[in-house]
Chains A and B, each alone.
Chain A
Amino acid sequence: MKNTIAERILDFLKGYPPFNLIPKITLLEIAKNVEIHYFEKDQIIFSQNDNPHEHFYMVYEGAVRLYRFAEDKKHVLDICDEGDLFGLRPLIMKENYLMGAAANEETILYSIPINIFNDIILNFPKVSQFLIASFATNTRDPFSEKHKGKLFANIEAIKKVENNFIEAQSAKYTRNPITCPPSISVQEAAIIMTKNVINSIVVTKNKIPIGIITDKDMRTKIGTGLFKITDKAASIMTQPVITFPENITVAEAQIARLKHKVSHLCITKDGTNTSELVGILSEHDLNLIQGNNPLLLIKEIKLAKDAETLKYIRSKAAELTKGYIEQEIPIYFVTKVISEINTAITKRAIELSIKEIGRKPPVAYSWFAVGSQGRKEQLLMTDQDNALVFENVEEEQYESVKSYFLNLATKVTEKLNIVGFDYCPANIMASNPKWCSSIDEWKQQFKEWIKDPIPEKILLSIIFFDFELIYGNQELYDEMAKSVLKYIRKNQIFLSFLGKVTLDNPPPLGFFKQFLVEQDGENKDNFDIKSRAIRPLVDAARIFSLYHGLQINNTIARYEKLMEVEPQNKDLFESCSNSFKILLQFRTSQGLTNNDTGRYVDINNLSKADRLKLKSCFNPIKNVQEALKLRFKTSQIS
């Protein structure tokens, strides 16, 4: 039968998230069950600590203010206007209302029964993702502390739905693998392997994996006569083993295998190499699963003969990124895969350049990426930011060594430019004599920056202190990284200066909850998502990490480590990490749509969903900036 009223309600609902993500036929069912409420100005809809209603609400007309009493003072937390949802969180978490809601003006609300909506959360992963995104930020609020990790009472069910993406899928590993103790002989181990028709055996001690013996070990260590078949299994096993927790995803497994160049990963109870073995994941297991594209790309990169080929492969990687973003694969995996690809390209560019020169580097060196590449947060093509360090050499050698590396760096940056990484406009590249120096010169520079933090040196610190080894000597890199942390430990005031610079970038919402947009220039009226939203989060992560002496560059990894180091601020850091992921994903999809860097966002062209999504990321920015202010007493710096 015709139902004009329900159809009109549907027309309204479908204009707003998350209802725009629900097919019409399902949405009509929701519309049919809506109740319409009318509230006069200042009438209370629900009060703080009330039992949850059986409905949540959507503003049809008017506006609703959400408020909370803390220490007998009323704080207005938010104003919801037409199309905004509220009062959903407590229903999902089965908790009392954490805040009160009252009509800010004459208001008509649609109330939607939660029992209908619960099924929708389960059946439409995009809806749950939207809700997770919009809830992400609230975790910081002190009053929601205890709800962390149970945003949804039935999170397991939701996870299951999301898992239809291969890369984000849990990798299927072999459970209860065959093991042997380290004390048995190689021959006995080989007999067990042969009997069970397996190509590898895990060596365990008290169920903890300590090594692995593969067919390859038998071939290279026994077959060649290096060891005897009577030697102990422990003597030929490959160790330590690379371990992961049970929920390892395909993407993680692929990356781990690339990184550690191993054919098998051990799955342990808690993911560390000191806990009980539960399974093994082999190359074969992974190859069974489709979607090993990044792996193939990296293989192709390793075989590339020139920059043009690298460029072609990089364009395929861009397609991959696009696919990942469209499929809403968690940004964490996407950045990892793309960073690995960029790293592989740079490595190959260095190898090709050395070949061209025809002479091996005279001394040990390392090539590192700085800035966003150093943090491994690059998804789209951006500028090159790189630098080079070489071993200390005698004075008379210095000139020739430096000129070799400058020549090498010039060739590498040329190749990267062909691939599509533009030259850095600020000339922060290894081909610049300033950024191609010996280890002592680098340390001296770092020391000066930290001791005398004038503005231009602070800017350099911000770029260079996010540096990651791409190619070359690990010790040189470690030495540099440690020197930075050492100097900072001695000059804590430096962090206050860093904090001050960050805080000059205010939270992105204006007084009337408007986005702060650019005032003039080419991007007038656009929202600069990079400097207004992403950078403050990146900066804060860096400062806190330097403070704790953490040698981590990736922003997400930094926040995750900070959650461990400062358990009292776990909520804050978690909300920052979530916001950062959302913003990065947002910027990337913007960039892919508009074929640019995604830095400037035209707010007026955003859907309501995207606008809400963006806005939800701003609270953590404000909160972490407050924390910086307090911790590093930035107000005392003029």
Chain B
Amino acid sequence: MFRLFKRKSYPEFWKQHIEKVSKSKNYTNYETIRFVALDTETTGFDYDNDRILCIGAIAIKNNKIKVNDSFEVYIKQDVFNKETVKIHGIRRNGNEVKVSEEEALIKFIEYLDDAIIIAHHTKFDITMINEALKRINVGPLRSKQLDTNFIHKKIATENQFKKLFSLDELCKIYNVKMHDRHTASGDALITAYLFLKLTTKYKKNNALNLTELIRTNYYLSS
């Protein structure tokens, strides 16, 4: 029923999100930028019908992964797909404390603050999140976004023409141990490791600044 009425004003958390991202002063200096590596586990790959089950994220600042600045939330969903349970291991009535989609999104947006998102195949995770935001009449996310895939492609010397690399492939190339693969937090941490290694490599030939990094996003810009 709500959808019939177009909201004139956004809820408080969303207003703040827009303001934080647009007014942030942290982007000019690489050392002050807060990156958030994130990953979602979903019931499937259909943007319209599948749902987010879990969001895991961890912050990176000044080349350090901050364990005390991490985020993990499990979401109650009516949609259930027993096929993907095999991958992510989140059961319909598992032991995790689950919250509603709205509560999870609000918490996540608050955690996100003015951070720049880094993910692997970012487009998928962000679209899933945006679809969820749409269901509570906000969105899309205003945060700047990066993708490990594209940063890699920018510095890779081999397989230049391969379009996409899987997370497993990148882990192999950059020698990142794959613990907790296919849990949101585990994949977020792996993404964070990859990001540290990628930016260190990247830095060798390029001054590390955000504009350059964002420019790796030519596939992503929508």
Contact = CB atoms under 8 A, between A and B. Distances in A.
Interface residues of B, number: 28
Given A4-B185, A5-B58, A31 B67 contact: yes
Nearest to A11: B179
Given A1-B72, A36-B193, 8 more contacts: A3-B70, A5-B186, A6-B67, A33-B68, A35-B66, A36-B192, A36-B196, A106-B175
Interface in A33-51: 33-38, 40
A8 interface: yes
Interface string A1-26: 11111101100000000000000000
A111 interface: yes
A263 to B, nearest CB: 60
- Interface of B, secondary structure class, is mixed
A4 B180 contact: yes
Interface string B58-80: 10000111111010111000000
Interface in B177-222: 177, 179-180, 183, 185-186, 188-189, 192-193, 196-197, 200
A39 B63 CA distance: 10
Nearest to A110: B67
A338 B164 CA distance: 71
A36 B189 CA distance: 10
A63 to B, nearest CB: 14
B97 interface: yes
A317 interface: no
Nearest to A62: B175
B67 A9 contact: yes
Contacts of B58: 5
B185 A38 contact: no
Contacts of A482: none
A106 B196 CA distance: 12
Contacts of B96: 2
17 contacts: A1-B72, A1-B73, A3-B70, A3-B72, A3-B185, A4-B183, A5-B188, A9-B67, A32-B67, A33-B68, A35-B67, A37-B63, A37-B65, A38-B63, A40-B200, A61-B177, A106-B175
B196 A8 contact: no
A2 B64 contact: no
- Interface of A, secondary structure class, is mixed
Q: Nearest 4 A-B pairs (CB), nearest first? A: A36-B65, A4-B185, A38-B196, A35-B64
A85 interface: no
Interface of B: 56, 58, 63-68, 70, 72-74, 96-97, 175, 177, 179-180, 183, 185-186, 188-189, 192-193, 196-197, 200
A388 interface: no
Contacts of A450: none
Given A38-B197, A40-B200, A108-B193, A5 B64 contact: no
B97 A2 contact: yes
Given A35-B67, A37-B63, A108-B193, A4 B74 contact: no
Contact of B193 (A6, A32, A38): A38
Contact of B70 (A6, A38, A61, A111): A6
Nearest to A36: B65
Nearest to B175: A106
A579 to B, nearest CB: 36
B68 to A, nearest CB: 5
A36 B70 CA distance: 12
Given A38-B193, A106-B175, A4 B63 contact: no
B72 A4 contact: yes
Interface string A604-633: 000000000000000000000000000000
B198 to A, nearest CB: 10
A441 B190 CA distance: 78
B106 to A, nearest CB: 15
Contact of B56 (A4, A33, A37): A4
A629 to B, nearest CB: 45
B196 to A, nearest CB: 4
Nearest to A35: B64
Which of A32, A34, A38, A106 is packed against the most chain B CB atoms within 10 Å? A38
A35 B70 contact: no
A299 B103 CA distance: 74
Nearest to A60: B177
A111 B200 CA distance: 18
A118 to B, nearest CB: 17
A337 B67 CA distance: 49
Contacts of A5: 56, 58, 67, 70, 72, 185-186, 188-189
Nearest to B96: A2
Nearest to B183: A4
Contact of B180 (A8, A32, A37, A108): A8
Nearest to B95: A2
Contacts of A3: 70, 72, 185
Contacts of B177: 61
B186 A8 contact: yes
A4 B66 CA distance: 14
A111 B64 CA distance: 9
Given A1-B97, A5-B185, A8-B179, A37 B64 contact: yes
Contacts of B73: 1
Contacts of A61: 177
B107 to A, nearest CB: 10
A488 to B, nearest CB: 61
Nearest to B57: A5
